[in-house]
Structure 1
Amino acid sequence: MKIAICDDEELLCSKIEKIILEYGEANNICLEIDILNDGQELLKLMAGGEYFDLIFLDIEMRYVNGIETGKIIREKMKDEITKIVYISGSDNYAMELFQVRPLDFLIKPISKEKVVWAINKTIELTSNSEDMFEFTYNKSLLRTPIKDILYFMSEARKVKVVTEDGYKEFYGKLSDVELQVKSNFIRVHESYIVNAYYITEYSYKRVKLSNGEIFNITRKYRNIIREKLMKGAIFQ
């Protein structure tokens, strides 16, 4: 789990970091923490492909305040996944925070109980969510439900994530994708991994998906696929 603390008060950052580290140690959970001093620094990091599960974000900061930072994350980066907990010395921001849809709003001084609640809630929401495939597209963090993916296609140095609604692509290797997805995905070709759930026709040399697309199975993968089918390792 990755957590960012974005605040220009060094003492407050240290306090929240200490609470998080103690929580991780007590619960045997690995928690990665990045401390940032302003919204611009956070946005630059995220635009470069970094992502966070949870952000503790101060509202009153120099350059770009917390509210604008949150709006950019939600609207420009189109990231609805990252949980944001706002921090402020005032409670006058309720209406302005509506568009950002924060997980919580903490008034200074910050209590340990509130920080722990935010971590627990983030873990709960993450564990209860559908299995997602996560990737960076146009400098934005995206997560697509694995069950909605028809297939992955490798082209040059990019991988296309294809669903019934179209596709998005990212820089990566198909071999890395193969390690991330569930066993119901099968490699049929050096350039294709298909979701067995959508296979409507299968033969030794090809498969057909529910959208009508046909994929030839290269010789290298024919016996592997047949063995998986015989053992019931696909369509689980």
Structure 2
Amino acid sequence: MLNIAICDNDPVICTQLEENIMVFQDSTRRQFEVDVFYSGEELYKYIVNEKFYHLIFLGIEFDTINGIEIGRGIREERNDNVTQIVYVSVNERYAMRLFDIRPLNFLVKPLRNEKIEMVLKTAIMLIDNENPCFEFKTGRIYIRVPFNEIIYLESNKKKVKIFGIDGVYEFYGKLTDVIKRLPCQAFLQIHKSYIINYTYILSYQYENIEMSNKKVLPISQHNRKDVGNWIIGQKKEDHYDY
């Protein structure tokens, strides 16, 4: 799921952006969570309280903190170079003042729907490249869960459950197929019913592993030696990329 914020003091602009995002969501079968703000101060309070947005459509002129200050706060104070920022303004002269914030784009009011769609496509492409995901289908919806947010996966008959930091997802599939789609340096199948992410191991014993959500998972007997060697190898690595 992608978190998107819309922040502008013009309700008509906010509605237009939100409607375009919903149309784009339906056409791509992706899941978006959209928050709408009418003041920069309100948006920045959410960000300071650790609400992360993958994409922000951001106006510039507000009564208190303006959009340029918010952008600098995101990049410099929050040290966030991942969030894609798209500025929205009637005044093109602001564009020259935004280079250090590195926005994805600058939309001039009145907004054109085809331009919004183009920006959304570009943003999704960049976000996907920045944060590789495991993608699956449930019903008619395609869901993407970042690899680095998966704690472990569990097989339950014909279904697979993903236990992530933001919730639990379920889809039809087999772990033997799923493991082939996961980065092998981070994930390992420890049992016919479980695949774990090394990042979220809380404690390890020869017969079981406790994950960060306090769930204790068994290690099958024929996997115990391989699991032990894998964990030792991981400890020798300073880091790894998903």
TM bin (shorter chain): 0.5 to 0.7
Whole-angstrom CA distance in 2 between matches of 1:106 and 1:79: 22
Q: Is the 8 A contact 1:3 1:33 kept in 2?
A: yes
- 2:223 corresponds in structure 1 to 227
Partner SS state of residue 17, structure 1: helix
Gaps spanning 5+ residues in structure 2: where?
Answer: 134-146, 152-162, 170-181, 191-196, 210-218, 234-242
Partner SS state of residue 35, structure 2: strand
Change (3 A) 1:6 1:229: farther
- 1:80 corresponds in structure 2 to 81
Partner SS state of residue 50, structure 2: coil
Amino acid at match of 1:116: E
Q: Is the 8 A contact 1:187 1:221 kept in 2?
A: no
Whole-angstrom CA distance in 1 between matches of 2:57 and 2:204: 48
Amino acid at match of 1:9: D
**Structural mapping, 1:73-222, within 5 Å:** 73-129=74-130, 131=132, 184-185=186-187, 194=198, 217-221=204-208
Amino acid at match of 1:126: I
Amino acid at match of 1:114: K
Change (3 A) 1:66 1:217: closer
- 1:16 corresponds in structure 2 to 17
**TM-score, normalised with respect to structure 1:** 0.61
Q: Is the 8 A contact 2:60 2:66 kept in 1?
A: yes
Whole-angstrom CA distance in 2 between matches of 1:125 and 1:26: 18
Change (3 A) 1:69 1:225: farther
Supply the RMSD in Å over aligned alpha carbons.
Answer: 3.6
Change (3 A) 1:217 1:16: closer
- Deviation, 1:219, is 3.4
Count of matched residue positions in the alignment of Structure 1 and Structure 2: 171
- Deviation, 1:65, is 0.8
1:11-66: per-residue Cα shift (whole Å, max 9, x none)? Answer: 11111111111111122222211100111111111111211111000011121111
Q: Is the 8 A contact 1:186 1:225 kept in 2?
A: no
Amino acid at match of 2:99: F
- Deviation, 1:85, is 0.3
Q: Is the 8 A contact 2:3 2:54 kept in 1?
A: yes
Percent identity of equivalent pairs? 31
- 2:44 corresponds in structure 1 to 43
- 1:139 corresponds in structure 2 to none
Amino acid at match of 1:34: D
Gaps spanning 5+ residues in structure 1: where?
Answer: 133-144, 147-151, 153-174, 196-215
Change (3 A) 1:227 1:121: same
Change (3 A) 1:62 1:176: same
Amino acid at match of 1:227: N
